[in-house]
Structure 1
Amino acid sequence: MKINREFFDNYLKYLLSALLIIVIAVVVLYSIKTAVPKVEAEGIKVSGMYNLDLKYEDIQDIKLEDTLPEGLRKVNGIDLFGTAFIGNFSSPNMNKLKVFVVSDKGPFIYITTKNVDYQYVIINRKEKNKTEELYNNIRSKIKK
């Protein structure tokens, strides 16, 4: 039986393309699922590909904002069509951003840090009340 070479080549291309799309989808879903900030005794932790380990003593300021920074640009991370941002970002007014935003709807928790690797952390949750609850929980742990 003779195999049609063109058919085999096309089949292989489609198979590899489908596998690549599946791998990318798994990585994106894994990153979003693990981008959940945990408020612990010593600080805020996010596990996963773009992890965060921020001690409370390294927090200079924390505030709630309704919008994301203008010109948010991915350095190393995931920008899910402007609806979710996870990883390392920058903007014209803020460099060295760690972003864990799973909804493009505010509010957003802006944290200014003393860390040299990242100066700012921006976090939110899908639901507004969960973001506000997280903000209040972090704020209560910061010693002023």
Structure 2
Amino acid sequence: MEYLYGIQIFLILMFFFFSYLILIRKNYYLISGFKSSTAAEQQKMIQAGYPRAAGKMMLHVAIVLTIGFLLQLLHVPYAIEGSYVVMLIVLFIETFLMMKKVKRKSQKINKTVLMLSLILVIIVFAIPFMPNTLEINRDSFEISGLYGEEWTFSDIEDISLYDELPEVMIRTNGISLFGKHLGKYHLEGLGAGKLFLRSNEAPFIVVRTKDSFVIMNTNQSDKTLESYHQLEQAIQQNTDN
């Protein structure tokens, strides 16, 4: 299961599970501030509808994430990213409404939970912007950073530039966000390999090995071409030797 799908599925199951425990099983002690309240305060919170509001919020978030996941499977662009944005909107609005129903101590806890959720989403969105660097060594080249790997020149069968890439059949362990594609993918006609794409715009450097491939580019076509010529020259020199 790929990284991003794994996070999405985990969040969906978590929010559905906790909404079930609160709305159906009425385990209100799972709600921040409820357990530490007195019996009288707990009764007031129940009468004010705070526990059910908390359970419904989790249910709504689970539904939003599920819709985003299903749309992503249908190849709708940025479906998962959009679901995270909608999730944050739901969390902010419904948490704000919930805080009016509870005491001040619980309000602080809810704000903390909200901030932690925001940080989680920011981290997920920031991952694709972590840099990958092409490093050319004496008898190999390496791409450092997330999903990085090293390939020896002796295993390389061909290097070329593509103006258009084959269709992505499946991501086996990768991230696709904001037009960036990182990790392990299965492409039509090429099989399984790795992508390090910082842009959907050509050109694309395609290096085919004996049993796999690696495709890379940068945000700027001139830098991609420069990297291609450097890598091509290094491979040719190694072959001549």
Q: Percent identity?
A: 29
Q: Aligned partners of 2:218, 2:124: CA distance in 1, in Å? A: 23
Is 1:15 matched with 2:115? yes
The counterpart of 2:201, out of the listed 102, 105, 124, is 105
Q: Aligned partners of 1:98, 1:21: CA distance in 2, in Å? A: 25
Please tell me whether Structure 1 or Structure 2 has the larger radius of gyration of its CA atoms: 2
List aligned pairs for 1:34-113, cutoff 5 A. 35-81=132-178, 83-113=179-209
Q: CA RMSD in A?
A: 2.2
Change beyond 3 A, Cα 1:84–1:27: closer
Q: Aligned partners of 1:54, 1:45: CA distance in 2, in Å? A: 6
SS at match of 1:125: coil
Deviation at 1:6, TM superposition (A): 6.2
- For 1:104, give the aligned amino acid: N
SS at match of 1:98: strand
- Unaligned ranges ≥5, structure 2: 1-101
Structure having the larger proportion of residues in strand: 1
Deviation at 1:127, TM superposition (A): 1.4
Q: Aligned partners of 1:101, 1:111: CA distance in 2, in Å? A: 13
- Name the TM-score, length of structure 2 as normaliser: 0.51
Q: Aligned partners of 2:180, 2:119: CA distance in 1, in Å? A: 23
Q: How many residues align?
A: 136
- Name the TM-score, length of structure 1 as normaliser: 0.81
SS at match of 2:168: coil
**Structure 1 residue ranges, 4+ long, deviating more than 4 angstroms after superposition:** none
Deviation at 1:106, TM superposition (A): 0.4
Q: Aligned partners of 1:11, 1:62: CA distance in 2, in Å? A: 53
SS at match of 2:115: helix
Deviation at 1:134, TM superposition (A): 1.2
Is residue 205–residue 217 contact of structure 2 (8 Å, CA) maintained in 1? yes
- Unaligned ranges ≥5, structure 1: none
